[in-house]
Structure 1
Amino acid sequence: MDTIAFPALAEADRRLPLYLTICGHWNNQEAIIREQGFTDYQWLQCVSGTGELFIGDARHIVKAGQGFLLLPEVPHRYWPMEEPWDVHFISFNGMIAETLLRQAGMMESGVYTTENSETIVSHMRNMYAMSQSDRSYLAIECSKLVYMFLLDLMKAAEAGAQSELTYSRLQPVFAYIEANMDKPVAIKELAACIGVTPQYLCLLFKKSVNMRPMVYVNRERINRSKELMFYESRIPLHEIARRVGFDSASYFSSVFKKQEGITPEQFKKLHGMR
């Protein structure tokens, strides 16, 4: 459900070390363009889907499990790429906001991978629930929640940075998969790309993308097949299956349905393709 709240703030509330200005959730985040930036600090946490973020001229992709920080007055724009782009968001300010963010290693606007993103989202939901309550000293109660949020964000970002290092190490494997999308690949080949055993490769994939290597391969094959169906809609499905490395159209359809919940034929019909 889409939600948004603007906690009422008196002048004295704005002298708190931290204070909450906006919080909420969009089931599918719409396009936002702010050429002059925004007045407060913002954190947006992606739950599902994929978004595109521009900070100045720098382009970033935001995926599930990642969040992005926007510092005050920094020009930015963002919109969904893969819908629904499910996003929780808060805006906050206060005299210690910058200090806490710097302690978390967040010294500039950008995208950050967070471990235990469920904890981050839980904090954001709690802030929204509190802002809707009739508690006395509401701004102070919200301030306490923002403080707890930033402390946990500090831990989540540090752990997420380690995950990013693992992801970077896997780049040769991802490149190999991309280059051999139309061929069968074995896990031994993938492990050889970075000189590790298949067992250790599985551990790296689990840490980085939370799935086994061959599950990742099939996911990428299915994503490529959807692109082919969009851009070359007259290609028969058995040819699409071959181009994305499946031995048979029936196995391709089985994997497609397991991942997408519908068959390739239903996918084409749903999107008005012949």
Structure 2
Amino acid sequence: MPIIFRSAPVTEPYTFESIGRNWQQDRITRPGGYPFYHYLQTEKGSGRIETAAGAYILREQEGLLIAPFIRHSYEKTDSEWIVRFATFTGTAERSIPQIMGNRQVVFAGAGQGRPISRLIDDSIAIYGSHPPDGRQLSVNCYAMLIHIADSSHAVHPEEDALYRNYILPVIREIEINYPLPLTVEKLSRLVFVTPQYLTRLFHRYLNCSAYEYLTAFRIGKAKELLITARRLEIQEIARRTGFSDASHFISVFKKAVGATPLEFRRLN
């Protein structure tokens, strides 16, 4: 039952305030919320989380991120509820609301939960070395936030045939081939529907258009490169993340993030 709390000054853009796994979760009530973004994910059993933004049942590998100071409570709905968890801080902590689209609560389905579990386990292992690799922990922390942010708004979309047949194949295509010149037209042909219908389905399940999802995914990958590959030129990052040229990349990035790629790199 490893549980770690931060004991060093915050110097990295993103890091963990606390992190743990194999925790037997008791009933918790927080009328004033928690002071950090925090994420809870079921390892075994199930639990119910009540928040100011709604109620959720978390089954195995499903998780929920809750923004700071949001009223919530949770309790087990099975004979036991074993969880993983992480809370987030860092010098760039104020950018987390933007990463999450200013959502108070973000649900992560089992598909997102599996890579998040691996990141939690890997981060706990890093804390076992002396001294821990703060840079790698920051990368893991940011990767977790991106995985959570890319989660669907629907609680169980994988149970819906429309989601499985039309949305999921397109998401997988974006995740694999985002550096290529993808368009909504090409993505819609992949699943044999019109671009207009694909866009309606994306709005239904993900609250954004297919183009907005593709752009947000590329921006997320660009952020990773800006932080983890600091010697890469902006033009090369644009090319690696599917943008037609550096000028277009800078314009789209600034609109989405509120800063140019170079400003984002300096801030982080």
Per the normalisation by structure 1, the TM-score is 0.51
Aligned to 2:246: 249
Aligned pair count reads: 174
Instruction: Give the letter for the 1:173 counterpart.
Output: V
Say which SS state the counterpart of residue 184 (structure 1) adopts.
coil
Deviation at 1:229, TM superposition (A): 1.5
For 2:230 and 2:188, locate their aligned partners in 1 and report how far apart those are by CA, in whole Å. Answer: 35
Structure 1 stretches of 4+ with a deviation exceeding 4 A read 30-38, 44-47, 84-88, 159-164
Q: How does 1:15-94 map to 2 (within 5 A)?
A: 22-24=29-31, 25-26=33-34, 28-30=36-38, 42-45=48-51, 58-62=60-64, 70-71=76-77, 73-80=80-87, 83=96
Instruction: Give the letter for the 1:77 counterpart.
Output: R
Deviation at 1:163, TM superposition (A): 8.2
For 1:34 and 1:213, locate their aligned partners in 2 and report how far apart those are by CA, in whole Å. Answer: 30
* 1:263–1:27 Cα change, 3 Å: farther
Deviation at 1:216, TM superposition (A): 1.0
For 2:86 and 2:244, locate their aligned partners in 1 and report how far apart those are by CA, in whole Å. Answer: 37
Per the normalisation by structure 2, the TM-score is 0.52
Larger Rg, first or second structure (1 or 2): 1
* 1:252–1:187 Cα change, 3 Å: same
Per-residue CA deviation, residues 27-68 of structure 1 (Å, 9 max, x unaligned), is: 523477999999xx6415497xxxxxx97xx53343689x98
Instruction: Give the letter for the 1:60 counterpart.
Output: E
For 1:183 and 1:36, locate their aligned partners in 2 and report how far apart those are by CA, in whole Å. Answer: 39
Deviation at 1:230, TM superposition (A): 2.0
* 1:59–1:239 Cα change, 3 Å: same
The sequence identity of aligned pairs, in percent, is 30
Deviation at 1:175, TM superposition (A): 1.2
Say which SS state the counterpart of residue 226 (structure 2) adopts.
helix
What is the alpha-carbon root mean square deviation over aligned residues?
4.1
Match of residue 168, structure 1, among 142, 145, 164:
164
* 1:228–1:164 Cα change, 3 Å: farther
Say which SS state the counterpart of residue 265 (structure 1) adopts.
helix
Aligned to 2:207: 210
Return 5+ residue gaps in structure 2 as ranges. 1-26, 111-153
Aligned to 1:148: none
Per-residue CA deviation, residues 107-152 of structure 1 (Å, 9 max, x unaligned), is: xxx969xxxxxxxxxxxxxxxxxxxxxxxxxxxxxxxxxxxxxxxx
* 1:36–1:243 Cα change, 3 Å: closer
Return 5+ residue gaps in structure 1 as ranges. 1-19, 48-53, 89-109, 113-158
